A and B are shown apart, each in its own frame.
Chain A
Amino acid sequence: MEHVTQLLLILVILANLFVLGSHPLGACIRAVAFQGIALGLLPLSLHPEERSIHLFVIALGMVGLKGFVIPGLLFRAIRDAAIRKEQEPLIGFNTGLFLGAILVGLGFGIAGKLPLPPHTGSSMVVPVALSTVMMGLLVIVTRAKILSQALGYLILENGIYTFGLILAAGLPGLIEMGVLLDIFAGIFIMGTVIEHIHREFGSISAHKLVNLRE
Chain B
Amino acid sequence: MTILLLLLLIPVVLAGVSLAIRSDVWRPWMLVIAAVLHASLVANLWVSDAWPSIGTWLSLDPAGKVVLSLISALFLAASVYAVGYLHRRLERPNRTFVTSLLFFLSATSVVAFSQHFGLLWVALEATTLASAPLLYFNHNSRSLEATWKYLLICSVGIALALLGTFFLAVAETFQGPVESALLLPAMLPRAGSLSVPWLHAAFIFLLVGYGTKMGLAPMHTWKPDAYGEAPGLVGFLLSGVLTSCAFLALVRLTQVCQAAGQMDFARPLFILLGLLSMGVAAVFMLGQTDYKRMLAYSSVEHMGILTLGLGLGGLATYGAWLHMVNNGLAKGVLFLMAGNIHRHYRTKTASEVHGVLHRLPWSGALFMAGFIAITGSPPFGLFMSEFTILRGAIGNGHWGIVAGYLGCLAVIFIGMARIVVPMVFGEPPNDAAASGPKDSFLTTFTPLVLLAAVLVLGLYIPSWLDRALLAAAQLVGGLR
- Interface residues in chain A, defined as those with a beta carbon under 8 Å from any beta carbon in chain B: 110, 113-115, 117-118, 133, 137, 140, 146, 149, 153, 156-157, 159-160, 163-164, 166-167, 169-172, 175, 178-179, 181-182, 185-186, 189-190, 193-194, 196-197, 200-201, 209, 211-212, 214
Whether B396 is near chain A, meaning CB under 8 Å from some CB there, is no
B156 touches A179 (CB 8 A): no
B144 touches A197 (CB 8 A): yes
B118 neighbours in A (Cβ, 8 Å): 171-172, 175, 178-179
B149 touches A209 (CB 8 A): yes
B141 touches A193 (CB 8 A): no
| Contacts A170-B173, A172-B118 supplied; 18 other A-B pairs, CB < 8 Å | A117-B170, A117-B173, A118-B176, A146-B148, A153-B156, A156-B159, A159-B163, A160-B159, A166-B166, A171-B182, A182-B125, A186-B125, A186-B129, A190-B151, A193-B147, A197-B144, A209-B148, A211-B142
Whether B224 is near chain A, meaning CB under 8 Å from some CB there, is yes
A167 touches B144 (CB 8 A): no
Query: Can you list 28 A-B pairs with a CB-CB distance of less than 8 A?
Result: A114-B198, A115-B197, A140-B152, A140-B156, A149-B152, A153-B152, A156-B159, A159-B163, A163-B167, A166-B166, A166-B170, A167-B166, A167-B170, A170-B173, A172-B118, A181-B122, A189-B129, A190-B155, A193-B151, A196-B136, A201-B144, A209-B148, A209-B149, A211-B142, A212-B142, A212-B146, A212-B149, A212-B229
A182 touches B122 (CB 8 A): yes
A212 touches B122 (CB 8 A): no
B173 touches A167 (CB 8 A): yes
A201 neighbours in B (Cβ, 8 Å): 141, 144
A172 neighbours in B (Cβ, 8 Å): 118
Whether B61 is near chain A, meaning CB under 8 Å from some CB there, is no
A175 touches B148 (CB 8 A): no
A189 neighbours in B (Cβ, 8 Å): 129, 132, 151
B460 neighbours in A (Cβ, 8 Å): none
Are A211 and B174 CB-contacts (below 8 A) given A160-B166, A170-B169, A190-B155?
Answer: no
Whether B37 is near chain A, meaning CB under 8 Å from some CB there, is no
A13–B356 CA distance with the chains assembled, in angstroms:
59
Interface membership of chain B positions 106-121, coded 1 if the CB is closer than 8 angstroms to chain A and 0 otherwise: 0000000000101101
- Interface residues in chain B, defined as those with a beta carbon under 8 Å from any beta carbon in chain A: 116, 118-119, 121-122, 125-126, 128-129, 132, 136, 140-142, 144-149, 151-152, 155-156, 159-160, 162-163, 166-167, 169-170, 173-174, 176-178, 181-182, 195, 197-198, 201, 224-225, 228-229, 284, 288-289, 293
A186 touches B155 (CB 8 A): yes
A175 touches B162 (CB 8 A): no
A157 neighbours in B (Cβ, 8 Å): 159
A179–B126 CA distance with the chains assembled, in angstroms:
10
Are A171 and B181 CB-contacts (below 8 A) given A114-B197, A178-B119?
Answer: yes
B201 touches A167 (CB 8 A): no
A114 neighbours in B (Cβ, 8 Å): 197-198, 201
Are A179 and B146 CB-contacts (below 8 A) given A167-B169, A171-B169?
Answer: no
A14–B195 CA distance with the chains assembled, in angstroms:
32
User: Which of B125, B136, B169, B284 is close to A193, meaning CB atoms less than 8 Å apart?
Assistant: B136
A179 neighbours in B (Cβ, 8 Å): 118, 121-122, 162
A156 neighbours in B (Cβ, 8 Å): 156, 159
A166 neighbours in B (Cβ, 8 Å): 166, 170
- Tell me how far the C-beta of B144 lies from the nearest C-beta in chain A, rounded to whole angstroms: 5
B166 touches A163 (CB 8 A): yes
B229 neighbours in A (Cβ, 8 Å): 212
B159 touches A153 (CB 8 A): yes
A169 neighbours in B (Cβ, 8 Å): 177
Most A C-beta atoms less than 10 A away, residue of B151, B178, B284, B293: B151
A196 neighbours in B (Cβ, 8 Å): 136, 144
- Tell me how far the C-beta of B288 lies from the nearest C-beta in chain A, rounded to whole angstroms: 7
B166 touches A164 (CB 8 A): yes
User: Which of B128, B132, B148, B173 is close to A197, meaning CB atoms less than 8 Å apart?
Assistant: B148
A117 neighbours in B (Cβ, 8 Å): 170, 173-174, 195, 198
Which residue of chain B is the closest to A177 with respect to CB atoms? B122
A182 touches B129 (CB 8 A): yes
Which A-B residue pairs are the 6 nearest by beta carbons?
Answer: A175-B118, A178-B122, A212-B225, A182-B125, A209-B145, A160-B163
A3–B407 CA distance with the chains assembled, in angstroms:
59
A194–B148 CA distance with the chains assembled, in angstroms:
8
B162 touches A160 (CB 8 A): yes
A190–B156 CA distance with the chains assembled, in angstroms:
12
User: Which of A146, A182, A211 is close to B141, meaning CB atoms less than 8 Å apart?
Assistant: A211
Which residue of chain A is the closest to B225 with respect to CB atoms? A212
B163 touches A163 (CB 8 A): yes
Which residue of chain B is the closest to A111 with respect to CB atoms? B201
- Tell me how far the C-beta of A154 lies from the nearest C-beta in chain B, rounded to whole angstroms: 10
A113–B198 CA distance with the chains assembled, in angstroms:
9
B170 neighbours in A (Cβ, 8 Å): 117, 166-167
